[in-house]
Amino acid sequence: MARRKDSPQKAAMREMMRDYLKNNDISIKDGTDVNSIMRDMMSVILEGALDEELDEELGYSKYDYRNKETDNSRNGHSSKTMHTSYGDMDVAIPRDRNGDYEPQLIKKYQNTVTQDMEEKILSMYAKGMTTGDIESHMRELYDIDISDSTISRITDKILPIVKEWQERPLEEVYAVVFMDAIHYHVRSEGRIVKRAVYIALGIDMNGKKDVLGMYVGENESAKFWLSIMNGLKNRGVEDILIACVDGLNGFPQAIEAVYPKTEIQQCIIHQIRNSTKFVSYKDIKKLMADLKLVYAAPTEETALNELELFKDKWDSKYPKIYKSWHDNWATLSTYFKYPEAVRRLIYTTNAIEGFNRQLRKVTKSKTVFPSDDSLLKMLYLATMDITKKWTGHRQDWGQIHSQLEIYFEERLAGRNL
């Protein structure tokens, strides 16, 4: 008896399944039994559809010789194992005598059926699981034997999507753009080499955070960053109000070449780490207290006075520290010109470093990547996974936005932001 909301097709299928279970004395006790029946149903449906494809190709049905207008004919079947969400199943693929028939429902090299299973594999890959881990996981949970090469082919399908994502149009103006690089080991031409993954993370004028780009290149260099800046320009970014960077030589010049009006803030935390790298543990506490008087000063004038006092006290023992702060002061001191809310946002690249830490959690199981593409695939999938949680904007964005509008009034004039 058909149920009220059943379509005619569903009602017929319900009746057919009831007869099938009854006539074959089949009882369903758990999910394994359901999967077994679903595999049988799927293989029957696929085989029937493939036979119809060959009928269409030859121009006549199996026993309709009177309408045969070709010298080609059927030539039995070949067995093919397909991976599905219900487990592995064998499908009989029809063949023709001349070898002209190319199945469309199941392509020549296709060995997976459902998009659902591919999404499971991509999800596991995004969580940092190796191809070996995924292979074992699929076997244990879904009774599917799937090879490393098949997993690689499935994940390779996202490479065109990654390229499209890297070239997507961007906002016209970004309030702040954080730029940093994270390093990995990749196998290249039989050698293990170090690769830099260049990452640009932007906050637009509505306070929304987004990863603007991610690129695999040689060891970090200002020249590569220049090409990324030009890429952002070509994708529609007309202006960046403030760029927050680490202490890489030539980085400010690379930004200024493309965005000459952009304010550049060098990360204070990076500067502190570099300054204290070789300080004796006996001196570190006192030295850090004196250095804090510099970077935590209320005004730039006070900070410069404290820096000179720092020089008088420590220059004889650690001369490189004062020299580094003095030589980089132009980009280290940018945040002093802004109110407290903006200072907290830009004086460190913590925003992008937090993102990098999440990427490292995903990639920690991979000491060496087999190729640049495999590295980019995992980082892109991880990025999509991480950024799903980025909703809304900072709680203090209203205050930050109004302050930025005051300080960048001329540059924002005429823009509908």
* Structural domain includes residue 83: yes
- Among residues 177, 186, 179, 164, the alpha carbon closest in space to that of 356 is found at 179
The total of other beta-carbon atoms located within 10 Å of residue 141's CB is 9
Q: What pLDDT score does 164 carry?
A: 92
* Structural domain includes residue 235: yes
Q: Mind listing the pLDDT tens digit of every residue in the chain (417 residues)?
A: 455 666 776 677 677 777 777 777 777 877 677 777 777 777 776 777 778 778 877 777 776 766 677 778 888 888 888 777 667 778 888 888 888 888 876 777 666 655 566 677 777 777 777 777 777 777 776 666 777 777 777 778 788 889 999 999 999 999 999 999 999 999 988 899 999 999 999 999 999 999 999 999 887 888 899 999 999 999 999 999 999 998 788 888 999 999 999 999 999 988 999 889 889 999 999 999 999 999 999 999 999 999 999 999 999 999 999 999 999 999 999 999 999 999 999 988 888 888 999 999 888 878 888 889 989 988 998 999 899 888 778 888 989 999 999 999 888 886 665
Q: What pLDDT score does 76 carry?
A: 86
| 67 and 144 co-located in one domain | no
Tokens found for residue 91: 């499908």
Over residues 53-85, the pLDDT tens digits come to: 788 777 777 767 666 777 788 888 888 887 776
| 180 and 137 co-located in one domain | no
| 223 and 354 co-located in one domain | yes
| 76 and 224 co-located in one domain | no
In the 8-state DSSP scheme, what is residue 206?
Answer: T
| 59 and 140 co-located in one domain | no
CA dist., res. 168 & res. 162, Å (int): 10
| 183 and 106 co-located in one domain | no
Domain count along the chain: 3
Q: What pLDDT score does 336 carry?
A: 95
* pTM, two decimal places: 0.71
* Structural domain includes residue 2: no
319, 307 contact by CB (below 8 A): no
279, 287 contact by CB (below 8 A): yes
* Structural domain includes residue 395: yes
Give the type of residue at 205: M
| 154 and 177 co-located in one domain | no
244, 267 contact by CB (below 8 A): yes
The total of other beta-carbon atoms located within 10 Å of residue 106's CB is 19
Give the residue numbers spanning the domain of 101. Answer: 9-112
